[in-house]
Amino acid sequence: MVSALAALLLKQGTGWLGGIRLQLADHWGVITLPLFGLCLAAIAGSLVEYVSPAAAGSGIPQVKATLAQFAVPLSLRVGIVKLVGTILLLGAGIPLGRRGPTVHIGAALAAQLSNWLPTSPQHRRQMIAAGAAAGLAAGFNTPIAGVLFVVEELSRDMSGLTLETAIFASFTGSIVSRLLGASGLPAEIAASEFSAQEIPFYILLGLLAGGLGALFNRGVLTSLAMHRRLGWPMLVRVGVVGLVAGVVLAIAPPEFRDNTGLREILMTGAADWHATAIAFAAHFSLTILAYGTGAPGGVFAPALLMGSALGYLVGTGSVALAGSGSEVTYALVGTGAFFTGVARVPVTAIVIVFELTADFGLVLPLMIGCGIAYLVGEAVFSGSLYQHLLEASGIDLKDEANNYETDPLARLVAADVMQRQVETLSADLTLAAAIQFFTRSNHRGFPVLDDGRAIGVITDSDLATHRGKSPQLKLRELVSGRPVTLAPTASLKDAIYLMDRYHLSHLPVVEERKLVGIVTRSDLIHAAAEQREAQPVLPAIAPSYVVYVSRSPATGKGRLLLPLSNPQTAPLLLQLAIALAREQQYELECLHAIAIPRHCSPAQTPVDLAASQRLFARARDLAALWEVPLHVQVRVAQDAAQAILEAIAERHIDLLVTGWKGGTTTPDRVFGTIADTLIHRARCPLVLVKLGTTVQPFPQNQGVTTRWLVPTAGGPNAELALHLLPALARLTQAPQIWLAQIYPPQSQPELSQLEQMAGELRRHLAATIETLVIRAQSIPEAAIQVANSQACDVVLLGASRDSLLTQAVRGNIPRAIAAGTDCTTILVRGALSEEDSRP
């Protein structure tokens, strides 16, 4: 709406000042035209030079550079100077346009609004694009063309740029402009005429428009270089051009003094070919001369006027030689073709003319003329005028295309650098307890959670501020409830902006208000350093490709991933995964990875989803029975382990449950290719399940008493195993559990920790729990002997990544136990740090 009002003010101001100029010429004679042009142009030039140099030119290159994320000033001052300067310049009679300045003003106002209401760089970019679209839509009354121009010219890289805002802004700008009296083309334009025998003439028109458009672009750049070499102040440069334009208008026919009226004369066929040729030549030369000064004006209107003149001349030839066609139709096609030759936006040019005329019969000749003009223009002088103007000012938009390769942070999003295992504080924790927590921790800030949702961040500096308050205050009373957060897909540039804007050191990463990680200043520094030092490596495996997705509402506090592949073991693994998910209040994510050969592309290889749907059918039944939210996905992958790792990263998995065979014949592998890769690289906690070989292995034996052996040596992985044990044990009736500590004969056992773990387990599980202390030279042999003698159904082990992958002299304890018993073996490994998970 603001852009539309600015466009209307620019139009009315230009018309009012131009009317005064024409009245003075009628009353005092044509001598007033050069004087008027000199004075107003000099004022406009000094205004730009001394108040806001960023308001020079049409403004399209500046907006284009801003959307390409170059540091170009866009502010309220730029918009006001652009508005006043353009009114003065066009009112002086200089043949430049107001549509480019309208786009610039709209973008400047949008940028100022985004400064008043601070937001992320990506949202600011969207606002600027929307303001530019609204400005063009209001200037031409062409809402569709406004959006297309943003896509086709201003920001060809649309990654991350949503168009909804631009579409709505363009629609609003056009509506407001129409309601307040904006006008389009004259109503006297006749309906278009087109026949096949005219195609050669439209091709000729496209050839001329493309060639002359390229010549026009070169002329503008030459004029710009000439003015820079002269080194005159802008008020002198623009003033001289105003004087020259006034002299030309003084000696030209009276209809030349009003650019809008001249355009209507050409489009309605009211002029003869002599006047049309003079109009083309005069505007061609004067526009080149004026634009090279940096005066605040655009080339939209001059290009359309020159295009209509060129089209009218070709149409006159067509009527004279072939006896068919209409000069008016050629004039309209010429406007789009010449504009394409200058700006290299054929689709926008076609839509502008179509929206202005609402004549569908023009589409085919417009496609011919604009298409040929684009090809010829690119062949003669590649690149749009705006691109060359940016290069002349030292901005190479090739940098935008190379940004991904050259900027180390451009490759990364929050999910790439965030810490996934986050220490958090409860919203019900008191201030006194929080202070004690900080004294025991090396971290300086923690997210505050309320029912699993992030409601704020508390840092050591915050605690220093609140030390004088009541120690019994709860943290929920000290945080805002609306923390500044990042999405997992947010760029690191957004993270830097938010930290700088709000003076933050910690940014929670949330997905639908569910905390999935945290980014700190040190994370950003380390990420930038690592990216700068990293050597580019070509990936040996193509990324997996998602071919099927089904999602339930995301109502859980976390997410458990279960890869499925074997129809025989899938039902049992599903029971384990759903039991864990329900206990932890997690959502269940089932993944079926369809493996294909390395020489096939995952995105292009057709696959059959019948097996996937059979696997998912059982998952849906169990999830509905246990009331666990279920998501399913199918990925086509060259490597199944890589597909699982990608799913972990993309879906922010909190726990991975997967099966393994218990052994492998692959050299240098401990558990198997997939299991070893996941143990090495999956950063989330991992549960490996080797199902037993009995007739009814756990968890299939749900109707009988289940015997559990839990060898433990303490540590975080053993604690995690005991934390997951109640959910698994409740799958069967009256479980019996042996907590065993196995130690060498020469060592003295520490029994207090074992009894403490047993007591903690009894508080959470109604089961028979006993402790065992065993002296043995070999831990695996002792565990196997106990498991077999007690007829255990399950062996549960907590082990680190290193102990799981230990081989050679020391042997691999989990693998040996799994191989020596016929019961189900479950291995639990805690979360890995960023350093541990590197391949």
For 467-497, the pLDDT digits (tens) are 788 888 888 888 877 788 888 888 887 888 7
pLDDT over threshold 90, residue 665: no
Rounded-to-integer distance, Cα 654 and Cα 560, Å: 6
Residue 610: the pLDDT is 93
DSSP classification of residue 554: -
Q: Among 19-23, 603-607, 667-671, 756-760, which stretch is predicted with the lowest mean pLDDT?
A: 667-671
pLDDT digits (tens, 9 = 90+) for 521-568: 888 877 777 665 554 444 457 899 999 999 999 999 899 999 999 999
Under the banding of pLDDT at 50, 70 and 90, the label for residue 408 is low
Residue 409: the pLDDT is 63
Under the banding of pLDDT at 50, 70 and 90, the label for residue 188 is low
Residue 402 region by backbone torsions, left for phi larger than 0, else alpha for psi between -120 and 50, else beta:
alpha
pLDDT over threshold 80, residue 265: no
**Mean pLDDT to the nearest integer, 108-115:** 79
**Of 204-218, 410-424, 452-466, which has the strongest mean pLDDT?**
204-218
**Mean pLDDT to the nearest integer, 190-200:** 74
Residue 835: the pLDDT is 59
Q: Among 183-187, 198-202, 614-618, 674-678, which stretch is predicted with the lowest mean pLDDT?
A: 183-187
pLDDT digits (tens, 9 = 90+) for 336-384: 999 999 989 899 899 888 888 878 888 899 999 999 999 999 999 988 8
pLDDT over threshold 60, residue 403: no
Asked if 412 and 376 count as a contact pair (C-beta separation under 8 A), the reply is no
Residue whose token pair is 């003329």:
369
Residue 621: the pLDDT is 93
Residue 222: the pLDDT is 92
Asked if 775 and 751 count as a contact pair (C-beta separation under 8 A), the reply is no
Which pair of tokens denotes residue 422? 């986050």
Q: In 3D, which of 86, 95, 14 has the Cα closest to residue 45?
A: 86
Which pair of tokens denotes residue 455? 């409601």
Name, in order, each residue with C-beta under 8 angstroms of 471's C-beta and a sequence gap of 6 or more: 430, 431, 432, 435
Residue whose token pair is 């634009």:
291
**Mean pLDDT to the nearest integer, 298-307:** 87
Under the banding of pLDDT at 50, 70 and 90, the label for residue 667 is very low
Rounded-to-integer distance, Cα 380 and Cα 215, Å: 8
**Mean pLDDT to the nearest integer, 780-809:** 77
pLDDT over threshold 90, residue 635: yes
Scored b (16 or more CB within 10 A) or e, 473-505 reads ebbeebbeeebbbbbbebbbbbbbbbbeeeebe
pLDDT over threshold 80, residue 623: yes
Give the chain's count of helices (H) and strands (E).
33, 16
pLDDT over threshold 70, residue 182: no
Q: In 3D, which of 18, 57, 56, 25 has the Cα closest to residue 40?
A: 18
Q: Is the model more confident about 140 or about 233? A: 233
Residue 118: the pLDDT is 59
Q: Is the model more confident about 468 or about 586? A: 586
Residue whose token pair is 């999003």:
413
How many CA atoms lie within 13 Å of 132's alpha carbon, on the beta-carbon side? 30
Residue 535: the pLDDT is 45
**Mean pLDDT to the nearest integer, 388-396:** 79
Residue 807: the pLDDT is 44
What's the distance, CA 829 to chain centroid?
A: 34
Under the banding of pLDDT at 50, 70 and 90, the label for residue 164 is confident
Residue 764: the pLDDT is 86
Q: Is this prediction's pTM over 0.75? A: no
Strand partners, 737: 708, 769
Name, in order, each residue with C-beta under 8 angstroms of 348's C-beta and a sequence gap of 6 or more: 145, 148, 149, 152, 153
Strand partners, 707: 736
Residue 810: the pLDDT is 42
pLDDT over threshold 60, residue 783: yes
Rounded-to-integer distance, Cα 58 and Cα 64, Å: 11
pLDDT over threshold 90, residue 575: yes
**Of 169-178, 538-547, 675-684, 809-818, which has the strongest mean pLDDT?**
675-684
Q: How many CB atoms lie within 10 A of CB 244?
A: 19
**Mean pLDDT to the nearest integer, 156-175:** 68
Q: In 3D, which of 213, 181, 7 has the Cα closest to residue 105?
A: 7
pLDDT digits (tens, 9 = 90+) for 20-53: 888 888 888 888 888 888 898 899 889 988 898 8
Asked if 510 and 454 count as a contact pair (C-beta separation under 8 A), the reply is yes
Name, in order, each residue with C-beta under 8 angstroms of 524's C-beta and a sequence gap of 6 or more: 409, 417, 492, 495, 496, 499
Rounded-to-integer distance, Cα 352 and Cα 185, Å: 11
pLDDT over threshold 70, residue 244: yes
Q: Is the model more confident about 446 or about 129? A: 446
Name, in order, each residue with C-beta under 8 angstroms of 646's C-beta and a sequence gap of 6 or more: 543, 544, 635
Strands 655-659 and 733-743, how do they pair? unpaired
Residue 537: the pLDDT is 42
Residue 745: the pLDDT is 76
Residue 641: the pLDDT is 92
Under the banding of pLDDT at 50, 70 and 90, the label for residue 404 is very low
Give all domains of the chain, ordered by start, each with its CATH number: 2-179 (1.10.3080.10), 196-392 (1.10.3080.10), 414-533 (3.10.580.10), 545-659 (3.40.50.620), 660-839 (3.40.50.620)
pLDDT digits (tens, 9 = 90+) for 43-85: 988 998 889 888 888 888 888 887 776 777 888 888 899 899 9
Rounded-to-integer distance, Cα 395 and Cα 397, Å: 6
Asked if 359 and 185 count as a contact pair (C-beta separation under 8 A), the reply is no
Per-position DSSP letters for 348-401, written without gaps between them: HHHHHHHHHH--GGGHHHHHHHHHHHHHHHHHHS-S-HHHHHHHHTT--THHHH
pLDDT over threshold 80, residue 3: no
Query: What element of type H or E holds 36?
Result: helix 32-51
Query: What secondary structure, in 3-state letters, does 524-550 show?
Result: HHHHHHHHHHCCCCCCCCCCCEEEEEE
Strands 558-563 and 655-659, how do they pair? parallel
Asked if 265 and 25 count as a contact pair (C-beta separation under 8 A), the reply is no
Asked if 251 and 34 count as a contact pair (C-beta separation under 8 A), the reply is no
Residue 664: the pLDDT is 53
**Averaged pLDDT score across all residues of the chain:** 83
Residue 368: the pLDDT is 94
